[in-house]
Copies of this chain bind each other. A is one copy, B any other.
C-alpha cells in the first residue's frame, strides 16, 4: 500500500492514526485527555501529574514512571491555553515587523523565528502594512492580549525606538536594528561599520570621488549607512557631497543610475542595498558606462543573487541568522533574570567581487 509514497512520509500514517483517534473531529464521543484523566489512570492526584510534566523534584521515581506511562498511553498533551491563563505566560514571542517584502526585514524575521524556535519559543507575527501609531499600538495590544512573553520589534524606521521607549508594554522588548536604550534592548548589525568597510575598500583602491545612493532617510539603516559613508570620506579628507536618496527598489536605483551615468561626477558609488545596485548596473549598462572600468559599484546586504549580477557585485554582507540569535539571547536574558536592557551588535563583512577596481 505504500508503494508510491515517499519513504519519509510513511511514518506519518502511523502518526495520523494517533491523531485521528482523539481528534476533536470525532466530535461526539471523544474529548482530549486532561490532567484529571491521566491522574485517574495512574492512580494519583492531578497535581502529581502536573508535577511530573513540570519536572518538579519531589516526585518519587516510581510515581513518575507510572504517570509517564499513563501520559503515553492516553496520548496526553498539556493544554497550553489553560496553562497560559494561570501562569500568564505562553512560550510565545510576538514579532512586530514591517517592510517584509524587503530582503533585509524578511531575513531578519527569518533569523528571529529560527532562533526563537531553537530556544523553545513560538512566534506570532504581525506585519505592519503601514507604520503608524495606530498600527503599532494595535499590534502591541494584540500581543499583550495573547500573553506573549516578549516582543521583538523589527520596524526599521527611525521613530520606532522613540515610540517603544514610552510604550512600556510590561514584557521585555527587543528592538531589532537599533541600539536600544534603558528600557528597550537592541540587536543590530553595525550599519555604520558596514558603510565604512565599503567606502574604505573604494578609497584603498584609489577612488577619490565616491558617491552614495542612499536608502530612505527615515529608515534607521538608511541614515546609518549614509553617515558611515560620509564620515569615512571626511576622515580620509574627501568630499561627501555626492548623495542621492532612493527608495531601496531596483527601480529607483535605475532612475538614479541614469542620472549618474550622465553626470559622471564620481568614479565609485556606494549603494545602500543590492537591489538599488542592480538598477544602477542596469542603467549604467544601457548608458554604456562600464562597471568597474568606468565606475566602481558597491552594494549592501549580499543577497544570494548578488554574485550573479552583471558584473558580480562587491557588497557588504549582513548575517541575519546571527542577528536573530543575538536577538533571542537578549530576549531570554530579559525574560529570565528580568535584567535591564542590553545591546548587541553584529559585525558586517565586506564581500569583494567584480564590480570594483582601481579608477581609470
Residue numbers of A with Cβ under 8 A of B are: 5-6, 8-9, 11-13, 15-17, 19-20, 23-25, 77-82, 84-85, 88, 90, 92, 100-101, 106-107, 110, 113-114, 117, 122-127, 129, 131-133, 136-137, 141-142, 144-147, 158-159, 162-163, 166-171, 218, 249-251, 253-254, 275, 278-279, 281-282, 285, 304-305, 307-310, 312
Contact = CB atoms under 8 A, between A and B. Distances in A.
A170 B23 contact: yes
Contacts of A117: 126-127
B127 A124 contact: no
Contacts of A20: 166, 168
This chain's copy number in the assembly: 2
A145 B13 contact: no
Given A127-B114, A310-B281, A133 B167 contact: no
B100 A133 contact: no
Given A9-B133, A132-B8, A124 B126 contact: no
Pick the most buried of A6, A77, A141: most chain B CB atoms within 10 A of its CB. Answer: A6
A254 B15 CA distance: 41
- Report the 6 A-B pairs with minimum CB-CB distance, sorted nearest first: A16-B166, A24-B170, A9-B159, A250-B308, A80-B145, A23-B170
Contacts of A24: 88, 170-171
Nearest to A282: B308
A162 B307 contact: no
B122 A146 contact: yes
Contacts of A310: 281-282, 285, 310
B305 A275 contact: yes
Contacts of A9: 133, 159, 162-163
6 contacts: A20-B166, A81-B85, A100-B106, A100-B110, A101-B107, A305-B305
A126 B304 CA distance: 23
Contacts of A168: 16, 19-20, 23, 25
Nearest to A253: B308
Given A25-B170, A82-B85, A147-B81, A133 B11 contact: yes
A92 B124 contact: yes
Nearest to A279: B308
A281 B309 CA distance: 9
A290 to B, nearest CB: 13
A19 B9 CA distance: 48
Given A5-B159, A147-B80, A250-B305, A167 B110 contact: no
A88 B32 CA distance: 12
Nearest to A95: B125
B79 A81 contact: no
A12 B137 contact: yes
A90 B168 CA distance: 25
B133 A12 contact: yes
